[in-house]
Structure 1
Amino acid sequence: MIVLPAPAFGEAVTVLRPGPAVLDIYGNDAPGPDQEHPLHGCVVAPEPGAETVGGQDIVTDHLVIYAPAESDVRPTDRLRVRGDVFSVHGPVQDFRSPLTGTRAGVQVTARRVTG
C-alpha cells in the first residue's frame, strides 16, 4: 500500500478492513481484528433518507465519498466518517479522464442503518 502525504483540503476517512482470519473458540475461521488505514483529501456528501422494509420504517444515512485515485477501498470494507461507522454499499467506482485515461479518483457509496 502506498501512503501519500495528506492534502491541504478535504476530509480524512478511515477504512476499517477485517484482518487475517483467526480461529474462534470452536476452531472455525473468524475475521481477525480490524486493520485501519486513512484516506486523506476526501469529499463527503451526505444523503440522509428513510426506507420501508417489511412494513417497518428504517432510518438510513447514505454518504457519497469522493476519494483520491490511489485510495484502497473494497466493497467489503467499513468506513469511519466523522466518528460514525458506515458500510460500503456497492462497488467502488473508478473515474478516468475521457481524454487521457488518467485516473481522477474513486467514488464510494456508504450506508448506515440507525433505526
Structure 2
Amino acid sequence: MPAPYPFGETVVRLRRGPSPGRDPRGQPLPGILEETPIGGCVVTPRAETPPVGGAEQQGRDTVIVGWTVYAPPGTDWLTTDQARVRGVVCEITGEPGDWGRSPFTGLSGPIQFAADRVTG
C-alpha cells in the first residue's frame, strides 16, 4: 500500500513479541523487540499549556511534551507499543484512534496517537 502522505516521514513501531519464559524468580522475560518502519506518517509537535498562575507558567507559556502521529490508514498500533519518532523512543499515550472512513470522500482516514518521550 503506498503511503498516503507522500512527504510524510517514517516512524518505527517497537513491539515486544511473546515472552519466551520466566526468570528464576518466576517473572516473565521480555519478548524479542520487533521494529517495523511505517512510512508516510505525519508528525506534529504536541504542546501542553500549564494552568494560569501556576509555578510552571512563570518561565514559559507552552511546553512541547511529545508528538501527535497520523499514521497511514490500516496500520496496526497498540497502546502497549512504543514508537521511535525522529530518533526518540516514545510511549504511546492513550488508545490509538482510527479516523474511519470519510463520509465526503469515502477514503480511509489516518490512525492517530500521542507519542510521549520516554524519560528516566
| TM-score class normalised by the smaller sequence | 0.7 to 0.9
8 Å contact 1:60–1:111 — kept in the other structure? no
Matched, 1:111 2:116: yes
8 Å contact 2:91–2:118 — kept in the other structure? no
Aligned partner of 2:27 in structure 1 is 28
Distance 1:50 1:78, change over 3 A: farther
Classify the secondary structure of the residue corresponding to 2:109: strand
TM-aligned CA deviation for residue 73 of structure 1: 0.7
TM-aligned CA deviation for residue 80 of structure 1: 0.3
Tell me the TM-score normalised to structure 2 length.
Answer: 0.73
Stretches of 4+ aligned residues off by more than 6 angstroms? none
Q: 1:45 & 1:89 partners in 2: Cα distance? A: 15
8 Å contact 2:3–2:72 — kept in the other structure? no
For structure 2, list consecutive stretches of 5 or more residues without a partner in the other structure.
Answer: 57-62
Distance 1:86 1:25, change over 3 A: same
Q: How does 1:1-115 map to 2 (within 5 A)?
A: 4-5=1-2, 8-22=6-20, 23-49=22-48, 61-95=65-99, 96-99=101-104, 102-114=107-119
For structure 1, list consecutive stretches of 5 or more residues without a partner in the other structure.
Answer: none
Q: Which amino acid aligns with 1:109?
A: A
Q: Which amino acid aligns with 1:106?
A: I
TM-aligned CA deviation for residue 101 of structure 1: 5.6
Rg comparison, structure with higher value: 2
Q: Which amino acid aligns with 1:9?
A: F
Q: CA RMSD in A?
A: 2.8
Give deviations 1:1-31, integer Å, cap 9, x for gaps.
xxx4556421000000112102224343222
Between structures 1 and 2, the one with greater strand share: 1
TM-aligned CA deviation for residue 75 of structure 1: 0.9
8 Å contact 2:15–2:82 — kept in the other structure? yes
Percent same amino acid at aligned positions?
44
